[in-house]
Structure formats: C-alpha cells, structure tokens
Amino acid sequence: MAFIPNIVFAIVLVLGIGFFVRNVRKLVRNIRTGKPVDRSDHRRERLANMARIALGQQKMVVRPVAGILHIMVYLGFIVINLEVLEIIIDGLLGTHRVFSSLGGFYTVLIGTFEILAFLVLVSVIVFWIRRNIIRLQRFRKPEMKGWPKNDGNLILYFEMVLMVLFLVMNATDVPFQQMGRGNVISGIIAPWFGGLPEATLHLIERTAWWLHIVGILVFLNYLYYSKHLHIILAFPNTYFAGLAPKGQMDNLEAVTKEVKLMMDPNADPFAAPAGAEGEQGEMPEKFGASDVSDLNWVQLLSAYTCTECGRCTSECPANQTGKKLSPRKIMMDTRDRLEEVGKNIDNNGTFVADNKSLLDDYITREELWACTSCNACVEACPVSINPLSIILDMRRYLVMEQSAAPAELNNMMTNIENNGAPWPYNQMDRLNWKNE
C-alpha cells in the first residue's frame, strides 16, 4: 500500500510525457509538409543569434516594461522548473526533498526559486492588467477576439496558479519551515496557516504538491494548442531565421534561370527546357504560394512560433493607416490553416483536397496588396519571424499564376515591358519624368 502513491505518480508522469511526445511528433510532421530549404550554413552566426535573441531576450527589451516583465517570467519558469526534478525523484522514490542534503547550496537554490516565483506572480498580474484593464491597443485588434484572447488570459491564470501552489507547498511543509533555510517568501506566508493541526498542514502540502506537478504536465501539453508554444520553438526559429539583410528579397530560381538563358548569346531560344511538359522530368514548379504546402518549412515553423504579441502589427505602417493588413494575423492564419491540414491528415492518413487554401479562405488579397514591403514587422518581431516572406510568396502566386495584380501594378509592368521604365513614355523619352 505504501507504494501506491509512487505508482500513481509514475503513471501520471508517463501519460503526461507521452501526450507531449505525441504532440511534438504531430508538430514536426505538420512543419515538414512545407517545401525544403537549406539552413545549414553559417552555424556560428546562427548559434549566436539564438543565444542573443531567444536565450538573451535581446529584442524583448526594446519595449522596456513588457521586456523586463517577460524576462522575469521567462527566467522564473526556466529556473523554477529545475525544482521539478526534485519533485519527480521524490514522487518516484517516495523521498521528501531529496536534495536538502546539499546543505547551503539547497538553501540558496530554494530561496532563489521562491523569490523568482514571487516575481513571476507579480509580472503575470501586471500582464493581466495590461490585457484586461488597461486594454492595450495591440491586444484589441480583430484577430485577437475569441480563442486568441481567451488563450492569452488562460495561460496567465495557469502561471498564477502554479506559482501560488509552489509557495503554498513550501509554506505548509512543516519540516521545510523548521529547517529555516530557503523559505524567503514561504516563511512570510506560513503564519497564515498558523493554528492548523499538523495533519491538516500535511494534507494541504500534499495537495499543493500533487496539483503543482500535475499542473506542470497539463501546461506542457497545453503548449501545443497555445501561442505559448514559442517557449520551445523560439530557439529553433531564431537559429533557422534568414541571415540576409532585411531589404534583400530572394529571387525565384526558375525565373533567374529564364533570365540567364535570355541573356546567354549561345543559348538556343527554341530548345525545350528540361522538365517541360512532354519532356522527361518534373513539371515546372508552381510559382509563389497559395496554400501552406507551397511555403517552406521555416515559414511554417515561424507560424507555430508566433507569440501573438502584436509588436509587428503595431509597427506596420499599413495597419497604422487603417488598412486591413496585420502581420500578426498573417502568421496566425498560416498556423490555423496548417492545423486544418494536419487534422485532415490525421483523419485520412494523407492529405485529401478540401477545396480550401490559405489564399482567400484565410488571407485576403486586400491584405496582401496593402503591404509596403518595408520590413518593419520583421524588425519588430522578438523571435525573428518574417511575415513579409509569406506575403511576397503569395503575391508571386497572384501575379505569376493568376495574373491577378492590381491595375496600378499591371500598368507599371506593362510600361516596363514596352518602354523599359515604369512610366508611360517611349524608350527614348523615359527620363522625361525628371522634368515634371
């Protein structure tokens, strides 16, 4: 009978980790539906970016209030969860505070945990106030209604409860309080439970202990369904992010080959390109992107990494002038469509056409053409997400596959083709614009 709690704990632990592994596999599968792209270059530079941006939170402190609060929560959760190792060992072996034998080091460790837990609690309360009482403008955009808003609040409640449970667990742990070591915050709370029988204190401590570890496992599995998946994905996303200057746009390889062929005096203009219809080889690749399967895996990874913080949207000049474009919504829509595709695969074993696409069903053409390509959203993102790359790929599809560019753009491209300049002058007079 004495081993029953340990067996129950082991079952809970295996189930919690098992569900998490299942979700990770599903996540990896969904991301791999994207097209291949090579990001194995410049490893040192990529590692430096990851250390500076994901681990060091460099871009978070651009906005000091939110940045400092976020660092408190981030640091608190990273450090406090080291305490989970002790809970797991105690739960499996039936011991109690197995690391207390470390003496002074344990005192410092637990004291640090308690201070950080208090700071996390304070920071989370401030975040809740900013979202729900002050109601910052970037949290009131149309895409933040419904589940995104509820998810943001739910995760804050999760964090509040976990920190309170940790402090209550320590405050009602009589042997720990009698040690008088490391109870920096719980020692202040302990008198609130004064006068209760020791058996009652033990019951409260055990209840808080169980709820704390179960809550952490639930939180771990909830991440897949939440914007807080960035806790894990911020590291690979900052590592695999593009290293080229932000103003440098990539060229379509197929178009580049066409241009080089046109400029090669020795090339046969009547020769059929390899892979053309009727020839051996693959059909020409689709230009641009109309659905998530046309995007590359780094773009899909970024969609899952989005923190929904809204910094990109608040910096977007198109959004500031009332346009429908919201870079945050672009990433959220991409993730939602990818999730829909993933569920389709779950239900059918492989993707079955559902007559839906990212273009039109999720992201409108009006949003795409509102973008000024200024890269403000890319610069603002604290985890190196590039919404512009998705916008450009979808624009390429509209122009090159559907010839569906706005009239102004069509006129410009026609002028370039006929006159060698964007303006409606013949080639001899194409510099006349400077005289007007």
Burial class (CB in 10 A: 0-12, 13-18, 19+), 63: middle
In the predicted structure, residue 181 carries a pLDDT above the cut 80: no
CB 34 within 8 A of CB 296: yes
Residues in the chain, overall count: 436
d(CA 306, CA 380): 12
What tens digit of pLDDT does each residue of 36-54 get? Answer: 999 999 999 999 999 999 9
Burial class (CB in 10 A: 0-12, 13-18, 19+), 281: exposed
In the predicted structure, residue 374 carries a pLDDT above the cut 70: yes
Contacts of 251 (CB under 8 A, 6+ apart): none
Model pTM score: 0.89
Contacts of 272 (CB under 8 A, 6+ apart): 278, 279
Give the pLDDT score at 327.
97
Burial class (CB in 10 A: 0-12, 13-18, 19+), 260: exposed
Pick the range with the lowest mean pLDDT from 155-169, 171-185, 328-342: 171-185
In the predicted structure, residue 129 carries a pLDDT above the cut 50: yes
CATH of domain 4-31+63-240: 1.20.950
What tens digit of pLDDT does each residue of 239-283 get? Answer: 999 999 988 888 877 778 777 777 777 766 666 555 544 443 444
Give the pLDDT score at 282.
46
Q: Which of 139, 159, 158, 157 is nearest to 149 (CA)?
A: 139
Domain ranges within the chain, ordered by starting residue: 4-31+63-240, 253-435
Helices (H), 102-197: 104-132, 147-171, 174-179, 186-189
Give the pLDDT score at 276.
45
The pair of structure tokens assigned to 247 is 């103003």
Please state, for a pLDDT cut of 70, what percent of the chain lies above it.
95
Q: Across all residues in the chain, what is the average pLDDT?
A: 89
Q: Which of 315, 256, 263, 262 is nearest to 287 (CA)?
A: 256
Quote the distance between the C-alpha of residue 21 and its chain's center: 18
What tens digit of pLDDT does each residue of 356-365 get? Answer: 999 999 999 9
